[in-house]
Structures are given as structure tokens and as C-alpha cells.
Amino acid sequence: MRISLLISFLFVLLQSFGQSVRISGYAPGYIGKSLKAYTIEDYFSQTESLITTTTVEDDSTFSLSFESPITQKIVLKSGNNTGFLLVEPGAEYSIFFPDRDKYAPYKPSGTEVELAFLELDSTDINYKVLSFQRWVDHFLGNNYHLKSIDAEQFVTALDRFKTNVEKAYADDSSIYFKAHVRFTFAGLDNIPSAAERNRYEKYDFYIRNTPVYYNCETYMTYIGDFYQKMIPRLSREANQAVYEGVLHSSPSMIMKALGTEYTLGNIQVRELVMIKTLSEAYNSGDFPQTNILTILDSLSTRAIIQPHREISKNIIDKLTALVPGGKAPSTVFVEEGKETKTLLSFAGKHVYLHFFDPESVKSRQEIPLLKEIAERYGDYIHFISVYKKDGELSKEAEKSLEQIDWDLYALSESNSIWNKYRIETFPQYSLIDAAGYVVASPALAPTPNGQYQTIDESFFHIRKTIERSR
């Protein structure tokens, strides 16, 4: 019995090691900075999940490893830059993570950089996808113009291209790659032409009897586009039945109504499309939002298809995140040498959260303006400034921090506040009322927006209201 258990344990252990992925390489523009790896939980909500973090060494090298039982897209982030690659179970990758091109415009929301593979075997998924994409680009570059000049010749060229690709990859055993190729073809079939398949033909050929590839971005993008704005496509009877299902907060009623649509004959696809359709309807004004959330909440625990439970949960988080009037996400302000606080520490007073990057010129320029506003309204509003603790600060950054005489915290990148408040750009602000509810997030800044509005007016009214109540 003990020997049997030991063999089972060793098998699981070896299987786990076989799924371990290692990414190493060089990132000379990020020495001393953290480099984070994320998975994409689902392609409908685009929810990212942090899986591991490392620090770029003084010699510009870095290395990180994690478990990946499936082939999937991994997003690498450092500073304001993002790159991605595909990983296969048990694979090792050597890459170069470049800095943003100095001639490219700075984007507060982040800049996507192209990772360079230092070594890449021809059997690797990245090699195959990149090679295939070059083949697609070459075909379009030589033939796309024909669709307007000679549609029949374009269709003939497209069919020949598909045949050549299918022959070239006939012996390939990668399910991910085969799905990527198939739904790249599906996207090419959307190019208007004389021989373009109609919607029902596309469903029969590409979707009806095809497995759902949740981890394949190409497939999920095609499904998202194919079933976009589904409700107007339904018959009048089905449309009304969906509405009744929402009013009764009944997933089963909605599933039954959607089942009358030919392109939703596949139950697994139908449930996935129901989730997507509900998320689209949430802000349409045509359906009660509370009922939609109730349905999604039910699906998050009782969906027929297991992956749809996580997708439903992520969609709920996306739809309800930082809604004005909603409860502000709880967070902990913790830094060595400072008193640890939470939002409850400031109950009874409005809170103005200031998220910034001390290394950013724009962030530093706003601090003097923020200081003036804090001096005027500090008795009525609590100011908290937070930034990511990420290596040594420059002299300019340290000098800007010296101007801040209110609560200031350098929070780790693993602190949940960055995800909870969806901080993607700097500087960014959130305003929370005295009872802990979101007033605005993102909130107005000390500097004017496109409509010449600043946070000063909001603070003025808060002060006026408080003084009247005293």
C-alpha cells in the first residue's frame, strides 16, 4: 500500500515538474525593476491574474518560472510596458524584453513592446504562430486588392492559400495551433467577397461541431465577434422571451429562448453567449441591472459548463467595479515604519485617493497643485497618496515625495489595491464618501480635464455641505 502511494505521489510530482515553464532573458531597460507575469483568466472579461514576479538583476538578466498545464498566452509587464508570448507545458524560453522606443509617444495606459526570442525551436508554438502569421500577411499583401478588382480571383487565391496551409500543417499535433489556424481562416472568411459564406454557413462550418477553446485567443475573439449584439438578431418571440427571462431572473428561461436561434444550437456555446449577451445588456438601459447581476451570480456557482462559472464571476466584477454609490473596495495601507491603516481608519470623512508614479513627469507636475488643494480642504477631506514600491527612486522622484505632507504609502505591486481600483494610468484619483461608498473612480484631478473641470469644485461643495450641517 505504501509503495503504491509513493508511486502515485512520484507520478503526480513528475507530472507537475513536466508542466513547469521557465522564462529567462535580458531586460537592460528595467534593471532593479520588477517584472510580472500574468495569465488571462478569460477573454470575455479580459481579467488578468498575477502568477509570479521577479526582479531584473544588475546585469540585466531575469528569470521566472511557474506551472502551466495548458498552452496559453502569458502577459509580461514592467513599468509602463507590456509584452506577451505563448507558453507550452514544460517549455523554456529565452527572451529580450525591450524598453519603449524612445521615438514612440508615451501612452499613460501603457505601451506594448515586442518581445524578441533569443532561441526558438521550430516546433515551439510561438515559432509556428509567428511563421503562420507571416504567411497570412504575405497572402493579404499580394491578394487583398483583388477583392475589389476581381472578386472571383480573390476567392480562388484564398481557397488555394487555405489548401496549402492545411497541407503544410497536416501532421501538426498541437490542438492550440490547429485552433489558431482554423479561426484565422474563419476571420479571413469575413472579408466581403462574392463567395462569402452566410451567417448560418459559417456557424455550421466553424462553430457547430467544434470544441470551445477557452485558452485560444483567436477562437474566443471570433466567437465574441460572431455573437456580438445577439439580442437584436433574435426573432420577436425569442427577444420577448429573453426579456421575460431577465425579469424572472431565470437563466433556464433565457437558455430556452436563445435555443430557438439556429446558431445557438450548441448548448456549451449557447451558455457562453448568454453570459456575453447579459454583459452587453447591462448598460443598455433596456434590462434591469439588478436582475442581470442576479442571473450572473447564479451562473457563477451553477452554470452547466464549469469554466462559465469563473467567466460569470469575472463579468460581475467587471460590471460592478467602482460603480458610483457602490461600496469602496477594502484595502490595506501598509509600509514598514508606518502605521498600517485601512479605509475604515478614515470613516466619517471623505477620502481622496491619489495613485501616482513619482518617476513620471506628469505625476510630479500635479503634486504642487494637489498640495494647494490639500491645504484648502484638508479639514474636510482626507488625502492619501500611494505609489508602487519598485526599486530605488531617482533624485527627482525623491524630491517630489518631500512635498507630500499627508498620508503617503509605497505599496508593493502585490497589494490588491492596484487591481481593485483598476489602476492602469498615472496619476489617477478616486473619491470615497464619509460612509465608505464610491463617489467617483476615476475621479477628477487637480488639473482640468477636456471640459475644464477639476476636483476643486467637488471639494468646495463637500466643504459647504459639512459647514452647513455643523
Q: What CATH number has the domain bearing residue 384?
A: 3.40.30.10
Residue 347 belongs to what domain range? 332-469
| For range 440-444, the mean pLDDT | 90
Q: Which residue type sits at 275?
A: I
Of the pLDDT bands very low, low, confident and very high (cuts 50, 70, 90), residue 412 is confident
Contact (CB, 8 A) for 319 and 306: no
Which DSSP symbol is given to 345?
Answer: G
Question: Going by C-beta distance under 8 Å and a sequence separation of 6 or more, which residues neighbour residue 268?
Answer: 212, 304, 305
Of the pLDDT bands very low, low, confident and very high (cuts 50, 70, 90), residue 284 is confident
- How are beta strands 438-440 and 111-112 bridged, if at all? unpaired
| Co-location of 69 and 135 in the same domain | no
| For range 52-60, the mean pLDDT | 94
Q: Which has more confidence, 325 or 409?
A: 409
| Co-location of 107 and 40 in the same domain | yes
DSSP structure string for 405-454 = -SEEEEE-TTSTHHHHTT--SSSEEEEE-TTSBEEESSPPPSS--TTS--
| Co-location of 55 and 97 in the same domain | yes
Name the pTM for this structure.
0.76
- For the stretch 199-224, pLDDT in tens is 999 999 999 999 999 999 999 999 99
- For the stretch 349-361, pLDDT in tens is 999 999 999 998 8
State whether the Cα torsion 288-436-448-388 is positive or negative. Answer: negative
Dist CA 213 CA 273 (whole Å) = 14
| Co-location of 350 and 289 in the same domain | no
Total number of domains in the chain: 4
Q: Could you tell me what percent of the chain has a pLDDT over 90? A: 69
| Co-location of 294 and 356 in the same domain | no
pLDDT of 109: 55
Question: Going by C-beta distance under 8 Å and a sequence separation of 6 or more, which residues neighbour residue 317?
Answer: 45, 47
Classify residue 450: in a domain, yes or no: yes
Q: Which has more confidence, 191 or 379?
A: 379
Cis bond before residue 192 (omega within 30° of 0): no
| For range 96-119, the mean pLDDT | 79
Is residue 367 predicted with pLDDT exceeding 60?
yes
Classify residue 449: in a domain, yes or no: yes
Q: How far apart are the first and last CA of the chain?
A: 76
Is residue 10 predicted with pLDDT exceeding 60?
no
Classify residue 293: in a domain, yes or no: yes
Of the pLDDT bands very low, low, confident and very high (cuts 50, 70, 90), residue 104 is low
Domain boundary among 55, 88, 119: 119
Q: Which range has the worst mean pLDDT, 12-21, 56-65, 305-314, 409-418?
A: 12-21
Of the pLDDT bands very low, low, confident and very high (cuts 50, 70, 90), residue 196 is low
pLDDT of 1: 47
Classify residue 325: in a domain, yes or no: no
* Residue 96: all three cell numbers together: 529580450
pLDDT of 195: 58
Q: Which residue type sits at 261?
A: E
Q: Which residue type sits at 137?
A: D
| Co-location of 77 and 106 in the same domain | yes
* Total number of residues shown for the chain: 470
Domain boundary among 62, 92, 119: 119
pLDDT of 283: 82
pLDDT of 323: 78
Is residue 241 predicted with pLDDT exceeding 70?
yes
* Residue 466: all three cell numbers together: 459639512
Q: Which range has the worst mean pLDDT, 58-62, 281-285, 435-439, 449-453?
A: 449-453
Classify residue 348: in a domain, yes or no: yes
Is residue 252 predicted with pLDDT exceeding 50?
yes
pLDDT of 82: 92
b/e per residue 395-425 (b: at least 16 CB within 10 A): eebeebbeebebbbbbbeeebebbbbbebeb
pLDDT of 268: 97
Domain boundary among 195, 226, 257: 226
- Provide the CATH number for the domain around residue 79: 2.60.40.1120
| Co-location of 414 and 463 in the same domain | yes
3-state DSSP call for residue 41? strand
Dist CA 100 CA 113 (whole Å) = 6
**pLDDT, mean over the chain:** 90
